[in-house]
Amino acid sequence: MIPLRFHNEQDGTVLKNRFTFACRQTATLLCGYCLCFVGCNQSDSPPLQMPPPTMTVSQPVRKQIVEWDAYTGRLEAIEFVEIRARVSGYLQSVHFDEGQMVAKDDVLFVIDPRPFEAEFNGANASLKQSESRVEQSKAQLEEAKAQKLQTDARLKLAESQAKRARSLNAQKALSAEDLEQREAELLQAKADVEASLAGISSAEAAITTAVAAVEAARAGIETAKLNLDYTQINAPVTGRISREYVNEGNLVSGGTATSTLLTTITSVEPIYCTFDANEQEVLKYTRLALDGKRESSRVAKNPVYLGLAGRLHVKSCGKQHFEQVFVVEGC
């Protein structure tokens, strides 16, 4: 116990304050003793044992890994086709929507076919006319041959009569005037034979000309048919088509180097992806091939995976071609 003394030098209020202060100090000391006592009692107890930590042990895995290199590439279409007209005419109709996928041989444009239909019909008429001329020339040839037989017979008769007239004239049994007549008939017979030969040659030439006209007419039909077919413009490849550069009703020119551009088609599958590799990386793969750790790109088409920017989870696979080119195909 700590003795407490109070002084009466001041009034009761002061004494009361001093008493309160002394009581607070006493309470503080008592609390301190209690804490020391408790601390001494805890130091005598054994320390707490922590449980051992849990550890997971895995066996090492040995396997062959594949080394991949990442590059930034450029996509290039294998086929890019400009659609141009092969014949000139007015555009009649358009059969696609901008940006749609079109298949090979799909109808894209139609040019007014009426002028080409008339040309095709005219070529057919020319063919029939030429074939008729061939038959007519053949008939003329047969007629010329028949006339040749007649002239040959008259020539033989004229020769026989002229020979007999010469013999009679030598015997003074035939006058000179009769001999001259027989000689004139012989000359006329020979001229008729020459004329029949010329007729045969003319008929044969007419046949040759008519046959050539038939071939020309057939060629004209083929040309007219091609031009008529060209009025329908089809897709030459499968791919995505762009917009129409010419609207319906406009005149388009075709068949020349400056033909009207109608639209374009870009193939989308497969596609090329080109990328650049530095010399060090190329030499690395060359050394691996020489060491037998991988096949050479000149021999094998190594797998390549392609992912678009922002869509890396969507990948396409392909095969590498020599000269740093690979084709991305459907997997």
CA distance 91 to 246: 8
Checking if the pLDDT of 266 tops 90, the result is yes
| 49 within some domain | no
Q: Looking at 28-32, 73-77, 271-275, which range is the least confident one?
A: 28-32
Q: What percent of the chain is modeled with pLDDT above 90?
A: 31
The chain-wide mean pLDDT, for the chain, equals 78
Range of the domain at 89: 79-111+232-263
Q: Is residue 323 part of a domain?
A: yes
The stretch 176-205 carries a mean pLDDT of: 82
Q: 167 versus 104: which is more confidently predicted?
A: 104
Q: How many domains does the chain have?
A: 3
What pLDDT does residue 237 have? 93
- What are the distances in angstroms from CA 171 to CA 115, 210, 270, 286? 83, 56, 107, 117
At residue 133, φ and ψ (nearest 5 deg) are: -65, -35
34 within domain boundaries:
no
Whether 249 is in a domain gets the answer: yes
More confident residue, 231 or 310: 231
We report the CATH number of the domain holding residue 127 as 1.10.287.2610
β 89-94/107-111 pair status:
antiparallel
The full length of the chain comes to 331
Same domain assignment for residues 120 and 226: yes
Examine residue 7 and state whether it is found in any structural domain, yes or no. Answer: no
Q: What is the mean pLDDT of residues 107-117?
A: 95
- Determine, yes or no, domain membership for 154: yes
Residue 67 DSSP class = -
Whether the predicted pLDDT of 241 surpasses 90: yes
Structural domain contains residue 60: no
pLDDT of residue 317: 61
Question: Residue 107: which CATH number?
Answer: 2.40.50.100
Indicate whether 102 and 168 sit together in one domain.
no
Does the pLDDT of residue 128 top 50, yes or no? yes
What does the pLDDT average to over 224-243? Answer: 94
- Do residues 145 and 226 share a domain? yes
pLDDT for 39 equals 45
Statement to judge: residues 308 and 199 lie in one domain:
no
